[in-house]
Structure 1
């Protein structure tokens, strides 16, 4: 699908305004690459050259993006671009956020190294390509080109305005269309950075994994990536148009725009758009949810319902999660968790399971299988298995039923800096990137964490190279099937287990999974 030409105020400025243009001769001492998008100067350190803040697109608010025009002067790409406007800690922020970062061990266009394009997490509401924990320096040093991508989030990326104004027909999937444009930039330019445009692995954690599962269902993305790695992030279904429209109505009312020309939103201060995200969701017990929409343009059906979308079946898939996902969502040290009792546990479990399993029966099963578990232990296990692990299992099963390859993993390695968090949601990010010293890594920097990080990187790089996560010198990792259900367990002693969590799988199997938010 081609992006429409801008017809309204463009919210991104020229790339030169932020990263500056410099004559080529002034940068003779710096690594410089020249690609279709123009010449860029990076910064080399410890054998890896980093290029930060490269603009890949521009966009009118709520419109599909368009590519940045090529420039002639060298742009010094050493400063990250702002994150998309959002609530929270990430600054600076700007709608002028369609940018990416590249780390490469070789700036020679004949190197043809595998490429890993990473999509950040944070659901569809938060996140940045510039986080310390996803710095690509250490991973690129292992012989792979690493790219991290910023794109539009929350209402800026997923507000479904199409039913209210045909001029915003792409608004419900604007964030996904940004990722498509970023992948098109990679295909056109990454060879100049030493990467192979025919060997691109798309990876992402949490919301990043969900965005990748959605891209697997978007025909416009077909051929732009050749392997996929989703980490604790699944997308069985996307928002139905009526649900998305109901959320849009509530959002417009919160902005006092209901019943008026929705084009007014294009000129409102972005701060007002972000403040209105606090509006209660009309469908679920949460703040307003915005995510991909089955809009009939970018998405015509769901990614993994009723089966694995045909558009993505030919892409080898590696997917997994962590053993204690929800210990990251609910603080083990909080008053709420410390006061949890067997009497109050059923209501708490029921509120978090995305299907109508009787909480008393679920709790009874966990108590029978883990008799020494406390109420918080059972809460974390049941919600992780039902809310986080179950959709991963569905995706692996649907791939298998379609006769396609999936490799499944589970991280059992527990936090060394905060043991109560266990193998929490996101602990595999630092293991993948080798950023064990990042403030939120949780892994510690001892020999066991370093060894596991290298092992995980070995498997991912092998997968990026060949579509298989094993090679000579690595443990054999069989593809997932419905009989053996082989799963790689990443821990101090990694191993393959067949059908882990079998009794949990059998307990939850009768219940239809409902994708939260959709």
Structure 2
């Protein structure tokens, strides 16, 4: 985290406030809409184009006074509170443009096609609920990104879309239980996950008032969001709070063990030069974040990792080791990735297109990042044999993708298949038009296509006919899954769940098709060595 950007208004605004409301054009443009009664008080949303929008709805109390502790429900309020602007995000390097950052960050946002009536939005309909959990590798992000605006998805699928903010980085995942013998930090390593549990409890108790069905709650999340969902699938406190799960380019096979998590916490605390728990709690948020610059003692490089911990309290087993968590085998699952994940991690640096074979061998270990410990020259030689038409850049991105994240998706699929509760596996091959298509289907592309917010900053789908068609196909598929737990719908061929040894996978492209074991030779190559989840 090279630059710390904290909006001071965001750091102080939450104390005693019911909602954190941003000022400026976004608020001024919102048209007051219906009032809905929640279990904590009434909120007024904004009337949209066929969709009612509620932003910055509080689901938990200010976590500032609760630093390192489990979240608490909010205090009930009287009167009607406007829900017209996003709430604050957890402090991080830099939020969305103009976004307040604060430890008072437990807010969610709702898009619903329910019609306003005499009694709020109780129009008699019970719609599937699609709860999106944002990515950012447990460190950054928020539900306020323009990429995640739920308007198009809610309208197209007649579903209720929810996005959520929660504690991130050291605020949500700093494991202090073995450093400080104090009961108040016993759950510190998974506080961010417990925030998500509280948010899902809020959805269970309140979403019917927004036209949603609390018995049809689907979680979907990309990158770190997918990893958070996989972790929730192994958390007893989350059981029964969601009924379908989709992980998109984000998996969690294993969590951090308590010893490694403690080493990271010690590195974090030592970086700050603070030994006292009370002083650590009192440290201003911007100074507290400086601890993330500590070199990770396990990886030996980069900033110190923060993520879920096998703490034997809220997380008592790994999500997909030694098998798929039994508690969630009755939850239908989709598990997917993009064909060219790694092309989305390089900042669209065109100089990589001219790599030599020698440079590929030199650069691949950094992409593997200790997840896969295998001789890169062996990998390059194998890829040149499997795909003789590949350029050095093609091999670099393909092998980097297979060794970095795709392997974890395969593990999730296979463990579900072994347990007799297979996942619906997908692979996105559709090439984004950016720079003539040289970036293929990079990381984040599946999420961009599901939401279809083509005009949002940084979206690379374009808005041509092919992009529109792919958005509609993916959106319809995710909506079908939310509705029934089966993603099959008229826009795709018959999608069979993943079983062994066939390994059926739906390949999304201009011509969407089923394939058995796509990239099977790559899978077998990397099966030579064990996969280590980063953070473990």
Question: Scaled by the length of structure 2, what TM-score is found?
Answer: 0.90
The CA deviation at 1:348 is 1.6
Alpha-carbon spacing, 1:262–1:364, altered in 2? closer, same or farther (3 Å):
same
| C-alpha distance in structure 2 between counterparts of 1:506 and 1:411, whole Å | 20
Map 1:177-326 to 2 at 5 A. 177-257=194-274, 260-284=275-299, 285-326=301-342
Please list the CA deviations of residues 452-485 of structure 1 after superposition, one character each: whole Å capped at 9, or x if unmatched. Answer: 1011111111111111001356421111101221
Q: Is contact 1:164–1:262 with CA below 8 Å preserved after alignment? A: no
Q: Deviation of residue 441 (structure 1)?
A: 1.5
**Residues 37 and 189 of structure 1 are in contact (CA less than 8 Å); yes or no, is this contact kept in structure 2?**
no
| Separation in structure 2 between the aligned mates of residue 475 and residue 89 of structure 1, nearest angstrom | 40
Aligned to 1:42: 45
Partner residue of 1:24? Answer: none
Report the Cα distance in structure 1 between the residues aligned to 2:367 and 2:32, rounded to whole angstroms: 56
Are residue 102 (structure 1) and residue 120 (structure 2) matched?
Answer: no
Structure 1 runs (4+) deviating above 6 angstroms are: none
8 Å Cα contact 2:46/2:84 also seen in 1:
yes
Mapping for residues 78-477 of structure 1, pairs under 5 Å: 78-90=84-96, 91-106=99-114, 107-108=121-122, 110-142=124-156, 143-165=158-180, 166=182, 167-257=184-274, 260-284=275-299, 285-333=301-349, 335=351, 337=352, 340-353=355-368, 354-418=371-435, 419-471=437-489, 474-477=492-495
Summarize deviations over 1:21-59 as a string: whole Å, max 9, x none.
Answer: xxxxxx997211123232111112110000000010022
Please name the residue that 1:4 is paired with: none
How far the C-alpha of 1:332 sits from its partner, in A, is: 4.5
**What CA distance in whole angstroms lies between the structure 2 residues aligned with 1:340 and 1:405?**
39
- 1:77 lines up with 2:83 in the alignment: yes
Gaps of 5+ in 1: 1-9, 21-26
Task: Please identify, of 350-359 and 237-246, the stretch whose mean Cα deviation from structure 2 is larger.
Answer: 350-359
SS in 2 for 1:174: helix
CA distance, structure 2, for counterparts of residue 470 and residue 80 of structure 1: 34
In structure 2, the gaps of 5 or more residues are: 1-11, 23-29, 115-120
Matches of 2:526 and 2:471, distance apart in 1: 32
* Cα distance per residue 1:194-248 (max 9 Å; x no partner): 0000100011000000000000010110000000011000000000000000011
Distance (whole Å) between structure 1 residues aligned to residue 463 and residue 176 of structure 2: 47
SS of 1:138's equivalent in the other structure is helix
What displacement does 1:296 show?
A: 0.7
* Cα pair distance change 1:393/1:97, threshold 3 Å: same
Aligned partners of 1:108 and 1:193 also within 8 Å = yes
SS at match of 2:197: helix
1:45-104 Cα distance to aligned partner (Å, 9 max, x none): 110000000010022111110011232311110110111110134332111111000000
| 1:11, distance to aligned residue in structure 2 (A) | 9.8
Change (3 A) 1:155 1:334: farther
Seen in structure 2, the aligned counterparts of structure 1 residues 450 and 309 have a Cα distance that, compared at 3 Å, is same
Q: Secondary structure of 1:245's match?
A: helix
What is the distance in 1 between the residues matched to 2:360 and 2:198? 46
Alignment partner, residue 55 of structure 1: 58
Is the CA contact 2:334–2:423 (under 8 Å) kept in the aligned structure 1?
Answer: yes
3-state secondary structure, aligned to 1:229: strand
8 A Cα contact 1:430 1:438, kept in partner: no
In structure 2, distance between residues paired with 1:355 and 1:137: 40
Moved more, 507-516 or 150-159: 507-516
**DSSP 3-state at the match of 2:357:** coil
The size of the alignment, in residue pairs, is 500
